[in-house]
Each structure stands twice: as C-alpha cells, then as structure tokens.
Structure 1
Amino acid sequence: MTDLTPPVTSADGYGVTPDGFVLKGIDRIIADQQARARAMFGSDVDLTSGSALRKVLDAAAVQVHELWRALENQYYANFLTTAQGDSLDLLGADLGQARQPLWATGEVTLTGSGIRPARVLVLPEGTVVRTTPAPHTSLRTTAATTLTADAPSATVGVRAVDRGPGGNLAAGQALELEPAWARLHLNFDSATVQVANRAPISGGDLLETDDVYRARLLGVPRTLWTQDAVLARILEVPGVRDTAVFDPLGGVDASRGVFNTYLFGQHAFTTGRRTGSPYFFDIVVAVEPGWPWRQDEGDIPAVYDKVLDVVRQWRPVSVFPDIRQANQVDVGIRATLVVQPGHDPNAIRGAILSAVHAGVDRLRLGRAVLHSDLVLTVRSIAGVVDVQNLRLRRGAPLFAEVGFGGAVFGGAVELSVGENLTLAADEIAYFDLDSPLIDLQVASP
C-alpha cells in the first residue's frame, strides 16, 4: 500500500507547483499511508509502532520518500541555477561550453649564483619558467621574488600556462627561465638563476567546480554579435585580466570631440551603417602579469594573437576590430601604521601588502582605487590599531597606444589624504608588492 499518487500533480500542494518543486516529507507520506490503511481496513486497525502493518508501511514510506527526492533532483537538473554534476555538464553541452580543466599548480625553488653583494635580483609576478627538453611545458610564478647574495634561494608558487593534465610535472624536472621572456624583462648582469621543483606540479587533471562552471554558463550570451558576446569570449583567453569594447555605433561616446555639437532639431545624432561598408571598433585588453602581448616577447602564446583569432570567429562581415593593450598604472601607498605591542611589524606589513594586492587585482578597466577601501583593508589586519595619513601614489602608466581621453603620462604623483586614484577608461590599476611607491611606517601606540 505505497503512495502511488503521481508526484507531478499539485492538487495537494506537492510536486511541480508554480513556486517550483515541493518535496513531500516522510512524515506526510506516513500520515497518508496510515489514512489509506484505516479507510481500507477500518478505523480500528492496529497501527501502533509494534504492529506488522505499521512496519510494512514505514518500510514502504522510506522507498517512496527516496522516489520523491529523485524526482526533485530530476526537476531541478533542468535549470542552470540548480543543476549539479552530470546534469550541469549536459546543460553546458547544449550551450557549447564544456567543463574546463584546471591549471596545474605547485612550487619551484629559485636559486641565484654570482650575485654581487649590493645586487638585488627581482623576479616579478608572472615570471615564465619552462622545462628544458622539448616540447616545453611553461609555468608562471604567482608572486614576486627577490634574491640577494645573503639570501640567494627562495620558493615561489607557480601555475601552468595551459589548462589540463599537460601542465602536470613530476618532481625533479629540468627547468629554466624562459630565455626570450627573460631577455626582455630581466636584467641580471653576470648573475644566473637556476630553477628546480622539489615537489610535483599537479592538479591539471581536475575539472572546475560546479559553482565556477555554473557562473560561466549563466554568463554565456545568447546572441552571436553583441558587446557582451565578444567580451565573454575574450575574457576566456588565457592571459586576459579584463577587456572593454569601445563601439562608436553601439553607444554614445562622450569623449569624442563632436559630442554635444549636434543640432538635434535639424540633424540626426548618428546614422546607421550601410550593409557591406567597413565598420571599425576598438577592443582594449588588460594583460595579466608576465603574459606576452606580441609573439616576439616569449614562446608562450601571445595574448594579441589569441584575442584576434577569437574576434575573427565572432565578428560579422566587414566589421573589423582594432585590438590595443590597456595602460597599466602602478599603484602605491604611503601611510603610518599604529600597531599593538607584541605584534611583528614585518608580518603586519606583509599581510597589508597582500590584502591590498588582492583588492587592486580585482579592479577592472577604468575602476578607481578608493581611499576608503584601502583604509578598511588596512584596519582589518589583526594587530593594526589605526592607520594615519594614508596617501595613494600613482606611477606612470605604460604606454600602449591607447588614447580614449584620459591616460596620464609622466612621472609618479602622490595624492592628498582622502583622495581617490581615478583612472581613465583605458587604464587598469596594478599593485606590485616590491614597488618603490610603497612606504609604510610603523609606530607604537
């Protein structure tokens, strides 16, 4: 005498309803079964906990409840926001987006030799390391590293350039700094740096989690050519930190010299593009540290070439992109910290720099660095009593042939206390842990 009521009906408020799938609880299932037993065998039927009929009904209720749970999972497996596991993979296949593998990660040891006593070797975040024998497997460091004559060795985290199991490396591989990248970005004079991985580089055989995969599927545009569609494709290119499309026919560009000069009562503000006539637009791309923009800057895939290939596949006929690199603006801070007695000032300083680096790294193109955000970040570090006279510093942006009305070129400037560091639409903030623009003084309360 199991509950055979079709779960898809919602007359009793359970199953598929306008508010979603309402699961029937095991207590309600048992109550319904006991009511049917009384209707069939009489109201005086023995349904106490020790009766044989009650034991049969309870065992059947467990199976019915499992059926309801399976039907609930099947119902929610049809929607991106609630699907999990294999069901989410099937929905992604319908959108043409497979679940992506992760990047292999691990650590390498950098050891310098021939370093002069007063010399400091700085290997920035994104330093490219590769295996010596071909075919090469390339890795990028995830943090900046300094080597000196007194401390010639350091361990730093690395992440594979390419996704998937191809980035996995066994311990003790023959590694080296990527020669082309090192010639362009490093200046060690007569010093040399050896690279070794004492532990395996692993994790490339894992796949992205449901939450990450779901967020990517929810952001897939449903049209072939819009700004959002092309942006979503470019953001998936390895090495792209952020991107923006400047489309003169897709919206009002207030920075253009002709803006606000039209006589709206006499002329049309803008005209449509004739079919077949060339149409140009600009794509600004911010690159992650260490990734080459052009192919001659290293042997790992250049960001410009990858972005160009993606846009070519998605652009309509006679629509041509002008792909440009964004201006990277170095950000620094100067402040006086009041630290509680007993706390290590160097540890607090390192924690502050790491927190500020993570916050600035999340900023997108054109987003200002807010003074209030940095104050809250510094005060959230354990051991910090107060932060005084915090000032933002702005380094000279890297010239990248972009000029959409705002890039400032020249020397570094220090802003006033409380002033935000504003950026142009073609600029993106970058905070280097070893930047000379950082000046943090520690004082006791």
Structure 2
Amino acid sequence: MTSDGRFGVTEDGFVVKGVDRIIADQHARARAVFGDDVDLSSGSALRKVLDAAAVSTHELWRALESQYYGTFVTTAEGPSLTLLGRDLGLPRRALRARGAVTLTLTHPEHGRVYALPQGTVIETVGSATETDLTVAYRTTQVVVLTEQQESATAEAEAVLRGPGGNLDAIGRELRLEPEWAEHNLNLGAAQVKPVVRQPFRGGEFDESDADYRVRLLGVPRTVWTQEAVLTQVLDVDGVRDAAVFDPLGGVEATRRSYGTFRFGRHAFSPPRQTGSPYFFDIVVAPEPGWPWTGRKPHIPGLHGAVTDVVRQWRPVSIFPNILAANEVEVGMRATLVVESGHNEEAVKGAILDGVRASVNRLRLGHGVLYSDIVLSVRTATGVLDVQNLRLRRFAPAFGQTYYRGATYGGAEELSAGENLSLAPDEIARFSVDSSLIDIQVVVP
C-alpha cells in the first residue's frame, strides 16, 4: 500500500494501481536518481525499460488483487474457492452425467395408458463378458406410452455423481430396475425397453463456481444447531426437502405423554442429565426415484445416507429418528374452455406439466394455493377460461410422523377457491397420471 493509502488493501476493498500511475511513479524515481534532465522520451532506451517494467508491475498488482479476493467465499473463483470449501469441510461436488433414452413399449393392453413417472430408475445390463459395474439412471420427465404411441424419448441423469455415470454407447439396451419397477409400476404383461439415444456425458466435470458458492455461503459456522444439521441433510443426494423437529430439547409433541402433565403437581420438563440419551426427529422428503432403503451400491438408500451424515454432526448421546415425509398426492377437477383449433390433448398436457412443476417445487408443510393452480391453468396456450376448479388430495393411509393437522384415509375434494393445507410433516406431490385428475374440455 502506498503512503497516501489509495492503493492496495483499503476499506472499500483492494484498489489496483493502474499502468499510468505506475509509469508516472517510475518517471519520478528516474528523475530523482538521474536528474531532471534525464531523457524519458518515447524513443529513449531508459523509457523502453521502464515501460516494460511497468507492465510486469501491473500484472503483479493484479495477482495481488486476485489473491486478496481469493480469501473470501463471496469473491473467490476456481481453485481459490475450492480451497476455501475444503477448509469448511465441504468439497466441490462432481456433476451427474446426463443423456437421453428411448423407451419402447411392447405387448401393451388395448386401450390402456402407461405413464412412467419422473424418477423412473433405469440401469445398465451386464453380460458374461463385460466387467463394467451396474450404473443407474433416473428420468427427469414424465413419459406416457400407449398402443398408438409405443416409443418416446426422455432425458435422464445418473443416480451417482462423477465420471462413472458417463456412457457413450449409443443404442445400448438398458432395463428398468426390477425392484423399483415392481414397487412403483403396474405394467402387467407389457414391457418397457430403454435404449440409449444420446450419450451420457458431463460426469467428469465439477459444479460451477456459482452453485458451489451458494452451498458454501449456506454452511453454518456452528457445530450443533438446527440450521447446521438441516444444511447437511439437504446436501445429501436425493433429498428434496427436510425439516428438523425439536433438535435441542423442549416439548416432544410426538410422545404419548405429551398433554398429560398436571402443571400444578408435576414438573413439565425436568432437566436432562448429562450423558442420558435424547432423541429428535428429522423428516426427509426424497426426490422421485430415490429409494428409502437401498441394498444396491449403485442406488443408495436415502435413510442410510442421511443417518451417516447426521452421525458425524450429532453430539454424544444425541440420536436422530430419520423419518420419511408423508407424500400427499394432489389432484384437481376442472372444466376448461379451449379456443377452437387447438389440440385438446396438447392443451391438457401443457396444463398438467405446468401444475406438476408448480406443486413439486413446494417444501415440507407448504400448502397448495388455489390461486397458483388457477394461474398455471389460465396461462396455458389456447385456454379461454377455467370453470369449477377444485383441488383434491389423497393422503397416505399410514403415516410415520404426526405433527397435528395431517389427514389420513381416502380422497378429499375441497371447495371452489379453497387452498390445500398441509401438516409440517407432509409434502405435496402431483403426478400427471393420477386418478384424482378430472379435466373436461369444452370448445365454444
């Protein structure tokens, strides 16, 4: 830093000395050393040496600026940001390989529609001569197959990050993961054969500086708080959302004894003795296609992955209950007035895709707003009006957690204009092939 304090580290950051100022300072020093009559014209040898030195000095100032800003997460880039992440214990993640597959339906039933949801798990098929490990992929969009449309192309991404998901063999046959298909699909006598349409690439690259910076800025600088644990859980691959309930003590609303205390006769919450076990709940909502418990290395179970992460952060005698969130299936009933000349099925498909994207972005406990659904429907191309729109819900018959307000049992249709409220342990899910969807199209 110079004596006047205008360059180098200042209150406003690092100020780089420009080339013009560097040359002026060099000329002043040259006159002080050789006298005022020294030749500093553009053709003199001394001037050429000073100009060359000025460029080198300016590059040194720029390097100092880069080194200075490389010590802050908000301004660091490249290797500097990677080193800061290592210091915080959060290394830069590899990307997932992405590509495309063609799904072909064989032996379909007459008049039946086969909908493969987002997150359909596909894996490579080995042979006796191949030594490659099995690699699993997940589709990123809904695929609908019928007797008339037996093939469709869908984008997919590798389940695990890294170069192991890269696959260049165009035309290679894959298969639906048997256990996942048995649990989530009901194909009957029909079969679906996936084939690689576009090579899977990108697993050899790391996440961008922008994405990595967001993750680093969200890392709590504490050892044990609700935010610290939640940040680690949300960083696990396959976690759509998570919530921590009662992390540091207090009222355990899930215990049977809750609500039975007599305040005038008994202590409501006696102090916990040091070393005595304490349990709290972490409710986790998985992304589509991620199994809760997995037995295969290429498709890890979400329960075990979250448990391993929390185990590294919990204090002594503090134990988590890792619970799956209750997924609430959301549907709708409406009558659409569509402008003549538009394909009715295409309009319905665009509406369902828009509603699915809107609902599946919601977090735990966030209800579905009636106005958001109306907006998604009205903004679709070709829709003139929407009438008698009502939201529907179908909660699971058995829930693993219960934090007041959850609804279990059969389907329920709400009144017109009514929002769909969810309990803290519930998360909304919208599927385009749901039986709760009833959309009638009217052409004026």
Same-fold call, TM > 0.5?
Answer: yes
Partner residue of 1:4? none
Which amino acid in structure 2 is aligned with residue 160 of structure 1?
Answer: A
Q: Is residue 131 of structure 2 the alignment partner of residue 131 of structure 1?
A: no
For 1:154, the equivalent position in structure 2 comes to 152
Deviation of 1:138 (Å): 0.9
Matched, 1:109 2:95: no
Distance 1:259 1:68, change over 3 A: farther
- Whole-angstrom CA distance in 2 between matches of 1:40 and 1:340: 86
**1:275 positional shift:** 0.7
Residue deviations 1:107-148, cap 9 Å, x none?
A: 111111111212222222111111111631111111222222
Residue 129 of structure 2 corresponds to none
Cα distance in 1 for residues equivalent to 2:74 and 2:4 = 26
Partner of 2:139: 141
Paired with 1:16 and 1:381, the residues of 2 have a C-alpha distance of 54
Q: Letter of the aligned partner of 1:156 in structure 2?
A: A
Q: Secondary structure at the match of 2:205?
A: coil
Deviation at 1:424, TM superposition (A): 0.4
Cα offset, 1:333, TM superposition: 3.3
Query: Match of 1:293?
Result: 292
Q: Cα gap change, 1:10/1:406 in structure 2, threshold over 3 Å: closer, same or farther?
A: farther
The residue that corresponds to 2:186 in the other structure is 187
Which whole-Å deviations, capped at 9, do the CAs of 1:155-176 have from their partners, x for residues lacking one? 1111111110111112233311
Aligned-CA RMSD value:
3.5
Task: Tell me the TM-score normalised to structure 1 length.
Answer: 0.84
Matched letter for residue 70 of structure 2? A
Q: Which deviates more from structure 2 when the two are superposed, residues 311-320 or residues 391-400?
A: 391-400
Please give the residue correspondences for 1:66-105 in structure 2 after superposition, counting only pairs within 5 Å: 66-105=59-98
Name the aligned partner's letter for residue 143 of structure 2: T
Cα deviations by residue, 1:211-239 (Å, 9 ceiling, x for unpaired): 11111112223233222222222222222
> Which residue number in structure 1 is paired with residue 410 of structure 2?
411
For residues 323 and 357 of structure 2, what CA distance do their matches in structure 1 show?
Answer: 25
Query: How far does residue 375 in structure 1 lie from its aligned partner after superposition?
Result: 3.8
Q: Could you tell me how far apart the structure 1 residues matched to 2:307 and 2:29 are?
A: 69
Cα distance, 1:207 vs. partner? 0.6
Is 172-181 or 367-376 further displaced after alignment? 367-376
Of residues 53-62 and 97-106 in structure 1, the stretch that sits farther from structure 2 once superposed is: 53-62
In the alignment, residue 199 of structure 1 is paired with which amino acid? Q
Q: Deviations over 1:222-271 (max 9, x none)?
A: 2332222222222222221111111164456778885798869x987644
- Secondary structure, in 3 states, of the residue corresponding to 2:134? coil
Which of 12, 15, 26 is equivalent to 1:19?
A: 12
1:391-410 deviation line (CA, Å, top 9, x unaligned): 33222236332112121012
Give ranges in structure 2 of 5+ residues lacking alignment: 127-131
Give the 3 Å change call, closer, same or farther, for CA 381–40 of structure 1 in structure 2: farther
| Counterpart for residue 427 of structure 1 | 426
Counterpart of 2:329 in structure 1 is 330
Report which stretch shifted further, 382-391 or 358-367.
382-391
Q: Which amino acid aligns with 1:21?
A: F
The amino acid that maps onto 1:74 is: Q
Greater mean alpha carbon deviation, residues 80-89 or residues 92-101: 92-101
- Deviation string, structure 1 residues 294-336 (Cα, Å, up to 9, x no partner): 2369972211122222223332222222221110011223445
Output aligned runs, 1:5-16, within 5 Å.
Answer: 8-9=1-2, 11-16=4-9
Partner Cα distance (1:259, 1:25) in 2: 71
What residue ranges of structure 1 are gaps of 5+ in the alignment? 1-7
TM-score for the superposition, normalised by structure 2: 0.85
In the alignment, residue 138 of structure 2 is paired with which amino acid? R
Please list the CA deviations of residues 22-73 of structure 1 after superposition, one character each: whole Å capped at 9, or x if unmatched: 3344555566667778888999999998999887776655444433322221
Counterparts in 2 of 1:9 and 1:398: CA distance versus 1, 3 Å: farther
Moved more, 348-357 or 308-317: 348-357
Residues in 1 aligned to 2:386 and 2:210: alpha-carbon distance in whole angstroms: 37
- The count of corresponding residues between Structure 1 and Structure 2 is 437
Structure 1 residues 370 and 254: alpha-carbon distance in aligned structure 2, compared to 1, 3 A threshold: farther
**Distance of 1:195 and 1:29 partners within structure 2:** 65
What one-letter code is carried by the residue in structure 2 that aligns with 1:333?
A: M
292-301 vs 254-263, which deviates more?
254-263
- Partner residue, 1:400: 399
Q: Structure 1 residues 439, 51: closer, same or farther in 2, change over 3 A?
A: farther
Whole-Å separation in 1 of the counterparts to 2:36 and 2:440: 84
How is 1:242-257 mapped onto 2 (pairs within 5 angstroms)?
Answer: 242-247=241-246, 249-250=248-249
Equivalent AA in structure 2 for residue 128 of structure 1: V
Matched, 1:198 2:197: yes
Aligned-residue offset at 1:359:
2.6
Please identify, of 143-152 and 53-62, the stretch whose mean Cα deviation from structure 2 is larger.
Answer: 53-62
| Local SS of the residue matching 1:305 | helix
Give the counterpart letter for 2:429 in structure 1.
Y
Percent sequence identity over aligned pairs:
60
Whole-Å Cα distance in 1 between the matches of residues 370 and 39 of structure 2?
74
- Amino acid aligned to 2:164: G
**8 A Cα contact 2:18 2:58, kept in partner:** yes
Q: After superposition, what is the alpha-carbon deviation per residue over 1:356-388, rounded to whole angstroms, capped at 9, x for unaligned?
A: 322322221111222333344445556656655
Paired residue for 1:169?
167
User: Offset of 1:201 from its aligned partner?
Assistant: 1.3
Deviation string for 1:283-302 (max 9, x for gaps)?
A: 11111112111236997221
Cα contact 1:9–1:16 (8 A) shared by 2: no
- Residue 99 of structure 1 aligns to which amino acid in structure 2? R
Q: CA deviation at 1:202?
A: 1.4
Q: Is the 8 A contact 2:229 2:313 kept in 1?
A: yes
Q: Does the 8 A contact of 1:324 with 1:400 survive in 2?
A: no
Is the partner of 2:272 in helix, strand or coil?
coil
Matches of 2:261 and 2:413, distance apart in 1: 36
Q: Check the 8 A contact 1:168/1:200 in 2, yes or no.
A: yes
Which residue does the alignment assign to 1:213? 212
